[in-house]
Amino acid sequence: MSAPAGCQLVGRWRIVEADLWDRDYLDLCGPAAIVIGAEGRGEIAFGAMHATLDIEYSRSSIGFAWTGFDEGDEISGEGAAELLDDGFIEIEFEYHNGDDAVLKAKREPFSTAC
């Protein structure tokens, strides 16, 4: 599915905080980030986890299923992200049969919305 015209979340976002993990963990293997592509795909990486996203869009929010690896273990789950009034996005990130986390991200300066 392609992003709708005027989608405000497409781009690269730097994950800056989480309710379950500190900043050192988030950036363990590189800068924590979520990339929201315009053609139904994206990526998220933080800590030792890296996953691909299968995205459904609305103008100021997305929903996604994700699959990836964390320390070599295959993992999956679901999530959503919503644009906040302050320009950040709030990401609800759920592991299947595991933790739920809330992440906050800001747009990378070189990344623009669609």
Q: What is the pLDDT of residues 17-61, one digit of tens each?
A: 999 999 999 999 999 999 999 899 999 999 999 999 999 998 899
CA dist 114 and 89 (Å) reads 16
Q: In the prediction, which pLDDT does 45 show?
A: 97
Q: Where are the alpha helices (DSSP H) in the chain?
A: 23-26
* Residue 112, in any domain of the structure: no
| pTM recorded for the entire structure | 0.89
Does residue 4 belong to any structural domain of this protein?
no
| 2 located within any domain | no
In a domain, 113, yes or no: no
Within-domain flag for 101: yes
- Domain assignment present for 114: no
Domain-located, residue 45: yes
Q: How many domains does the chain have?
A: 1
Question: Which residues form the domain of 92?
Answer: 11-107
Whether 24 is in a domain gets the answer yes
